[in-house]
Structure 1
Amino acid sequence: MPTTRETVLAALHARLQSLAALVLRDGQPGEPEVTLSPPRYHHQHRAELEVVFQSGTERASAFDTLTASIGTALVADRTLGGLCDWVEAEAPQPADLPVEGAAILKAAAIAVVLHYSLSDPLSG
């Protein structure tokens, strides 16, 4: 049976995979906030999306459209169907990637913070 962490990451990937070719890095669930009676472990898991785009002279505007569509997809369901408490993306960190003999690629890392709670730190 998949853990909550893997279920949430799979739902995030499923939500975004139709938008573009992207890489989802698991990231780190971080140190949880703990509440007692009953014990709950509240994570702010930072996953990372890597997006690469190449489209000639219009790549900057197409890239902006792509990052905006990622934001729109996340805003449409902030709980990923009830699997987590909240999902939010941080601003993209863009970079131009030179490729010898080809057009420059436009890339970005986009951190996505997934807020969810667990009853056991190992069931995550």
Structure 2
Amino acid sequence: MPTLRETLLTSLHARLSALPASVLRGEVLPERVPAGGVVILRDGDPGEPEVTLSPLRYHYAHRAELEVVVQDRERDAAFDTLCAGIGTALAADRTLGGLCDWVEPEAPRPVDLPVEGAASLKAAVIPVVLHYTLADPLA
């Protein structure tokens, strides 16, 4: 049986898979970026939990990361559209079906990456903070 942490990341990946981009989890950037762009979900870091006693609970603010990459002549507009789609997908259900307390994306910091002999890439990492509570840090 998967842990809550794995269930949350799987649910986040499934929610993002509805985007018109290619959505991967833990993969390397493909050699060719599809027309709709690529989103790669990285598991990230659960960080140090806040702990409450009686009953013992571990409260996490887990920082997963979305690597967003587009390659298009109109890469600024394509990047903006993809980021807005991610925001809409996450806002539709901030608890991932009741699995966590809250899902909060942070603003991207885009960069333009030149590619020799091809259209430039526009990329960013978008942190997504998953707030959840566990009775056991390994559960």
Residues 72 and 120, structure 2, Cα contact 8 Å, conserved in 1: no
Deviations 1:50-85 (A, max 9, x none): 0110121x2101210110110011111000000100
Aligned partner (choices 53, 72, 76) of residue 70 of structure 2: 53
Equivalent position of 1:24 in the other structure: 41
Output the CA distance in 2 between the equivalents of 1:71 and 1:86: 14
Higher relative contact order (CA 8 A, sep 6+): 1
Please report how far the alpha carbon of residue 18 of structure 1 lies from its aligned counterpart in structure 2 after TM superposition: 2.5
**SS in structure 1 of the partner of residue 112 of structure 2:** strand
Output the CA distance in 1 between the equivalents of 2:68 and 2:50: 30
Residues 100 and 132, structure 2, Cα contact 8 Å, conserved in 1: yes
Identity across matched positions, percent: 75
Output the CA distance in 2 between the equivalents of 1:107 and 1:18: 20
Task: Kindly report structure 1 stretches of 4+ aligned residues shifted beyond 6 Å.
Answer: none
Gaps of 5+ in 1: none
Worse-superposed segment, 74-83 or 12-21: 12-21
Equivalent position of 2:120 in the other structure: 104
Equivalent position of 2:32 in the other structure: none
Output the CA distance in 1 between the equivalents of 2:68 and 2:42: 11
- The equivalences for 1:1-80 within 5 A come to 1-19=1-19, 20-21=21-22, 22-56=39-73, 58-80=74-96
Aligned residues: 122
Cα-Cα RMSD: 0.8
Output the CA distance in 2 between the equivalents of 1:17 and 1:66: 12
Output the CA distance in 1 between the equivalents of 2:65 and 2:17: 14
Q: TM-score, normalised by structure 2?
A: 0.85
Gaps of 5+ in 2: 23-38
Output the CA distance in 2 between the equivalents of 1:8 and 1:80: 7
Output the CA distance in 1 between the equivalents of 2:6 and 2:46: 11
Higher helix share: 1
Q: TM-score, normalised by structure 1?
A: 0.95
Output the CA distance in 1 between the equivalents of 2:16 and 2:111: 21
